[in-house]
């Protein structure tokens, strides 16, 4: 599965009021793991750089004046992205800017169904936050010491690491223990020895006194106790 983790830097907060994209950073991932392929470009926004935005990313009007305008990089960006899912933190902010730039040039907008918002994922996993990119780096033990200012490619590279951890870490990409079951015998595909069920189950380690104490405790919980459901299911089986 191909995904593009991306980030943008802009001149402000709202493309509808004339703010523009000044940097795009993209990291290609296959099955949530970065491949090393990236797309990175600084963009001349064809307007001034507000001081508030400059303090965030450090990209000045003088620096950007000699960079390509969006129209000259749009085709390369669209080709790099292809039909992959797009992953970003607070993704619909970035998507709004990208689609505004594409629309100016007559390109079809990127559909919202292709978006994976890691901020929304983080809020589901950690509803009490904080869920900023820096906070997620701290939670997952990812080094973000290079992040002294916002930068699209650096943030995309860091987010790719965060996203991998959010999706289960590198184990999600491993399939070394695939199993084949033949005639009731499980054999791993690496040629290891088959594993069989025990012919006789191990005896319980609970003493009669412990079992009686547990039964008494469950009885004291009342008829609505969750334990009653497990007892009923076990009896039915």
User: Catalytic residue numbers?
Assistant: 150
| Pairing label, strands 2-10, 85-88 | parallel
Query: Coil, strand or helix: which one is 30?
Result: strand
DSSP structural state of residue 235: H
Backbone angles phi, psi at 39, to 5 degrees: -130, 125
Task: Decide: residue 31, CB within 10 A, 0-12 exposed, 13-18 middle, 19+ buried.
Answer: middle
In a 13 Å sphere around the CA of 65, the CA atoms on its Cβ side amount to 5
What does the alpha-carbon distance between residue 207 and residue 171 come to, in Å, rounded to a whole number? 39
**Residue 20: CB atoms within 10 Å:** 21
**Burial of residue 159 (number of CB atoms within 10 Å: 0-12, 13-18, 19+):** buried
Say how many C-beta atoms besides its own lie within 10 A of residue 97's C-beta: 23
Counting DSSP H helices and E strands in the chain, the numbers are 9, 7
């Amino acid at each position: 599965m191909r995904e593009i983790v991306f980030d943008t830097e802009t001149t402000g907060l709202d493309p509808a009021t004339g703010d523009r994209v000044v940097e795009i950073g993209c990291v290609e991932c296959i099955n949530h793991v970065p491949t090393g392929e990236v797309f990175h470009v600084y963009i001349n926004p064809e307007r001034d750089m507000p001081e508030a935005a400059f303090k965030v990313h450090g990209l000045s009007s003088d620096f950007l004046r000699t960079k390509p305008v969006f129209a000259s990089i749009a085709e390369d960006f669209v080709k790099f992205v292809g039909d992959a899912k797009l992953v970003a933190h607070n993704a619909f902010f970035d998507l709004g800017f990208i689609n505004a730039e594409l629309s100016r040039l007559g390109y079809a907008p990127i559909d919202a169904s292709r978006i994976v918002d890691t901020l929304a994922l983080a809020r589901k996993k950690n509803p009490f936050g904080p869920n900023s990119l820096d906070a997620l780096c701290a939670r997952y033990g990812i080094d973000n010491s290079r992040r002294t200012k916002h930068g699209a490619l650096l943030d995309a590279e860091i987010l790719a690491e965060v996203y991998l951890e959010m999706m289960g870490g590198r184990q999600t990409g491993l399939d070394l223990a695939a199993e084949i079951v033949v005639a009731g015998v499980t054999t791993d595909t690496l040629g290891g020895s088959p594993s069989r069920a025990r012919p006789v189950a191990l005896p319980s380690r609970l003493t009669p006194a412990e079992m009686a104490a547990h039964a008494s405790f469950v009885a004291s919980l009342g008829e609505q106790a969750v334990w009653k459901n497990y007892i009923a299911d076990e009896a039915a089986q």
